[in-house]
Every structure is written in C-alpha cells, then in structure tokens.
Structure 1
Amino acid sequence: MLNVTYGGFPMDALDVIEWQDVTGTEIVHRWPPHGAGNIRLGSQLTVRESQAAVFFRDGQALDTFHAGRHTLETLNLPLVQKLINIPFGGETPFQAEVYFVNLRTMTDLKWGTRSPILFRDKELAMVQLRAYGMFTCRVAEPQLFVNKVVGTEGRYDLDSVEAWMRSFIVSRFNDTLGEVLETILDLGRVYDEIGIACRERCREDFDKFGIELLDLLVEAITPPEEVQKMINE
C-alpha cells in the first residue's frame, strides 16, 4: 500500500511515501511501478521495521534509508544530489524511483534438481542422482541486491527469490558432489560434509548479490532404486 498526500504541490509530486506488504510475499516493491516518480524535498519517507528504501535513478541504486520516518533533503540524499544536482532548498520535484526492500528472514525455501544429474562414480561409472533440501536467507545489503538482482522490475516476490537462488544451489551442489564424493556407495559417510561444503560455496555466491544465506540443508540424495539396494547392502 502506498499512502500519498499532496499538500498544495503538483498532483504527481509526493509528500508522503510508504509501503506496506499486505500479501506477505513481496520482497521488493518499486514505486512507481513504471517510469520515474516525481519527489520533492521535504517529502516524508516512512520505512517500516524490517524494511529498507533504496532510491534508484539512471540504472543505479543510490541512497538507502532504514527503519524510521525521514524528511527528504539534500543532506540525506547525497548520491541523488551528486547525480542530478538538486538545488539546495528547492521545491521543484526531482525524478527517481524508490525500491522498498523487505529485510525479513525467508524460511522454509526449497531447492531441488528438476531432473536427474549425472554423477561420475569411480565404482559404478555414470549414476543418475536426484537431490533436494531447504534453505533460509535474507537480504543483507538492499542497495547491492537492487543493483544486482532486481534491476527495473516493478516487484520481486518470494517465489522469484526462491527460483533464482535454487538455480545457484543446484549448480553448486553438482560441483560439490564431484569434489567430495568418489562413489555413491560412500554416500552415508559424507552426507554432512556435502551439505556443509555446498552451503559455504553458495554463501560466497550470494554475498556478491547482497543476500545472506543463513542455512542450507541437503535433505536427500537419491540414486536409482537398484543402486540404492547396493548401498543398503
């Protein structure tokens, strides 16, 4: 929800900017949804707990605000001021977008292989494996996240984050499996090691995008039925 008042200024110049996620699923909400918004100095920006507001202009994330009520002025918009040279004390609206970023912890997210992956087994040659698990994360650096991941999207929801991260996790899982495991017959012995190694690899990846990976679990790695029988024996 965006709350807008006008205070005698042009109808498209905002005096109050705020957003509340009423769906519980939005991670990023862009104001306005399309194009640039007109914002004047003196406007009030309300950022709720577990939110950040990132000002965006000309393809780059600029000044970031955290929880609280902020009066927009040149002193707290140094990057916007540097880019577009807002007149000090001016009342002429300037153009920018505001990305509200949800900083809450995202739990119970799922990852898994959509189709079997081929594993080169030193005992059994090529084996098809499936794997799945859970992960938990949060946006730790909203400015970096908006720059690297969101771009010009009008909104970015939980499903989008889950799908985007899932592709990274599966890729890193494949790499980790080849390094840690020589034969699927030893799977039970190195299960935890695979999970830890995959988690650390993924953390390095996600850090580059402003996302903190809090936990990653490998819940199951399943070979074909005939191979599973060999492992059980």
Structure 2
Amino acid sequence: MAWFAREFIAVPEDRKNQLVYKWPDVTIRRYSRAIVNADELALFVRSGQVLATLGPGRHRIDAVELPVLGALLDGVTGGNLYRAELYFVAAREVTGLRFGGRLADVRDPVSEQVVTLRAFGEFALAVRDPAVLITALTGTTDLTDPVSVTSWAAELLLKSMKVAVARGVSGGAWPVLGLSEQLRPIEAAVLRETNLALYEYGLRIPRMGNFDITLAPEDAERLKRLAKDVTYIRLAGDFQRYAAGELALGAGQGLAHGGGGGAEGGLLGAALGLAALQQPRAVPPAAAEPAVGCGGCGAAGPAGARFCPGCGARLAAAPRHCPGCGAEAAPGARFCAACGARLPG
C-alpha cells in the first residue's frame, strides 16, 4: 500500500498556463495523490460523464475517501487501479490569447465605398462550468492539445466580430474612418455575441485586451483622398472650380520642378480654360438707337422723334433695337427674337 501512495498526479510546471490539461494515463493507481492547485479543479470522466470533481488541495485517490470512485475500480487488476480520464481545468482567467484576421468587405455609409476590414488583438478566456466544458468538447476537440481550446475560442471570437462590426458599419452606427473611436461599444457588442455562442460550451470571454480594427492600406488611402476631395469641393463651391484649382496646382508644381514641356503647359491651359468657363458672361451693352432724318428738310431729329423739329413734317418710324443684345426688332414685336428680352413700348 505504501508503494502505491508514492505516485503523485499534478499538472506539470510547463503546462500550468493551459486552460485544460488531461492526465495522459487513463489507469490511475489506487492511493495515488492528486495535487490540485488553488486555481484549478480536477474532474474524473468516464464514458463522457463527469463522475467526481476535486477542489484545491491534496487528495488520496481512494474509494474510502471519495466513495464515488468505487464505480471506477478495475476488477481485472484486483481493485488496485481506477479506470477513468482525469482533467485539470483552470479556474482562473487565461490572458494574453491572440486573435486576428480578415473581417469582411463592408460598404462605408458615408463615402459609399466598399472596403476590407481587418482585426487583431488579445483576449482573456475563462471556464464558466468545467463539467459542461469537458462533456461538450470531448470527442469534438483534442483536449490533449495545449492550444486546441484557446484557438477554437479565438476563431469564434473573430467570427462574432465579423457579424457585430458588419452590422454596426452597415447600419450607420460606426463610420469606417472612425472605428478606433468606437472600440468600447465594439468590444461590448463582440463579447455579447461571442459569449452567447460560448455559453453552451461552459466558456466565457470576460474581456478583450488591446485590439484594433484597420483598413487594407489601399482602402485607407482611397478613403482619405476621397474625404479630402469632398472637403475641398465644399469649400470651392462646386466640382468644376475644385477641378480647375487641382489642375492649376498640379501644373504649377510641375513648372516649379523644372518642367516646361507640353504636358505641363497642356494641364495649365486646361485648368485656365476650365476656370474661364466659371466666369459669368458679360452682357453686351444695349445698342444706341440712331437719330432720325427728315425727308423734307433734311433736319435730324432725336431718336424716337415722330415729327421733324425743323419743318414739323411727320417722320418715318425708326427701326427698334433690343436693349439687351442690340438685335433689330420687327415692327410691333414685344419681345426680342434673338434673346427673348422684353422690348420697350
């Protein structure tokens, strides 16, 4: 009996940072000592069912001390071995776990541009219910792999972030160029989405560490350029004035760097021509009505006179001209046939 008591079962030092550690031997000697640290729980599992749970402390593996272990005795060995799987589950938060990857292609509601979002950062993982964790993941996840559970949780976190961020951006709640200012509400939405999925596995993510959501470099440059253009157009008044200014500025920079060729000259000419189109057209002055000559005495009467000032003879009606464009108006016309302006009485 003393020889059996010398075997100790505990989590190795190099595995203490794991969320779940499975003892490699499924046959456990009677009277062995199980050492459960203060931040751990130990679970005996057989046929997918948790039969016993050990809290922190030193426990002798014996049906006298733990009556439930009587069902695990191996009769072939004369009752000297218990046949069961033994899992050590961390009762603390495991921090510094990394996640990251591509989120989705979303349409920015402000610029209406389709961009690609990426996320990367850290999170903490904790066990909500050790028994649920072991029974739910046994057979679906390799619990002997140190990173199997944490990597699976990281993938689920990234998937939940895709859903939450795409919903927030497409709904107009979070602008693409201002996502860094929305990290708090993003974290709350992602944790809510993720923990709903993790609940049935006995896990939870209590918090996220440093994380960020970024644009693909080419998308970030495109949105910044578009934002600058929109601002300048608003200041210039319309697109044509802004385009003329951009062309003139580009041509001026080319000339300042020693360029004097046809390309720069063409750009400058195009800019000046476009700017000239923006200038309001001058209205031609009204044509002066000519003086009226008398057919009898030859005296000249003032414009619009009906009788000769020299002999009193009736003068012929002088042709009328439009005061706006100077075109000659037909007799009796009330509006100019050339520009549509109203003619004087």
TM-score, structure 2 normalization = 0.53
**Distance in 2 of aligned mates of 1:8 and 1:21:** 22
- Matching residue of 1:198: 190
Higher relative contact order (CA 8 A, sep 6+): 1
Q: Secondary structure at the match of 2:19?
A: strand
**Distance in 2 of aligned mates of 1:231 and 1:150:** 52
Identity %: 24
**Distance in 1 of aligned mates of 2:121 and 2:179:** 16
Q: Which has the larger radius of gyration?
A: 2
Of 105, 120, 141 in structure 2, the residue corresponding to residue 132 of structure 1 is 120
**Distance in 2 of aligned mates of 1:140 and 1:195:** 20
Of 13, 25, 28 in structure 1, the residue corresponding to residue 20 of structure 2 is 28
More strand by share: 1
**Distance in 2 of aligned mates of 1:191 and 1:112:** 15
Specify every segment of 5 or more residues in structure 1 that has no aligned partner in the other structure, as ranges.
1-5
Specify every segment of 5 or more residues in structure 2 that has no aligned partner in the other structure, as ranges.
229-345
Q: Which moved more, 1:116-125 or 1:206-215?
A: 116-125
Deviation at 1:86, TM superposition (A): 8.7
Of 90, 94, 98 in structure 1, the residue corresponding to residue 82 of structure 2 is 94
Distance 1:16 1:129, change over 3 A: same
Q: Secondary structure at the match of 1:208?
A: helix
**Distance in 1 of aligned mates of 2:46 and 2:40:** 20
Of 106, 128, 148 in structure 2, the residue corresponding to residue 119 of structure 1 is 106
Distance 1:116 1:28, change over 3 A: closer
Deviation at 1:129, TM superposition (A): 0.9
| Structural mapping, 1:153-172, within 5 Å | 153=142, 155-157=144-146, 159-172=147-160
Q: Does the alignment pair 1:37 with 2:27?
A: yes
- Matching residue of 1:143: 131
TM-score, structure 1 normalization = 0.75
Distance 1:184 1:61, change over 3 A: same
Whether contact under 8 Å (2:72, 2:83) holds in the other structure is no
Whether contact under 8 Å (1:169, 1:202) holds in the other structure is yes
Deviation at 1:187, TM superposition (A): 3.1
Distance 1:92 1:109, change over 3 A: closer
Distance 1:177 1:227, change over 3 A: farther
Of 80, 87, 92 in structure 2, the residue corresponding to residue 104 of structure 1 is 92
Distance 1:198 1:165, change over 3 A: same
**Distance in 1 of aligned mates of 2:20 and 2:120:** 27
Deviation at 1:85, TM superposition (A): 8.5
Q: Secondary structure at the match of 1:108?
A: strand
**CA RMSD of superposed structures (Å):** 3.2
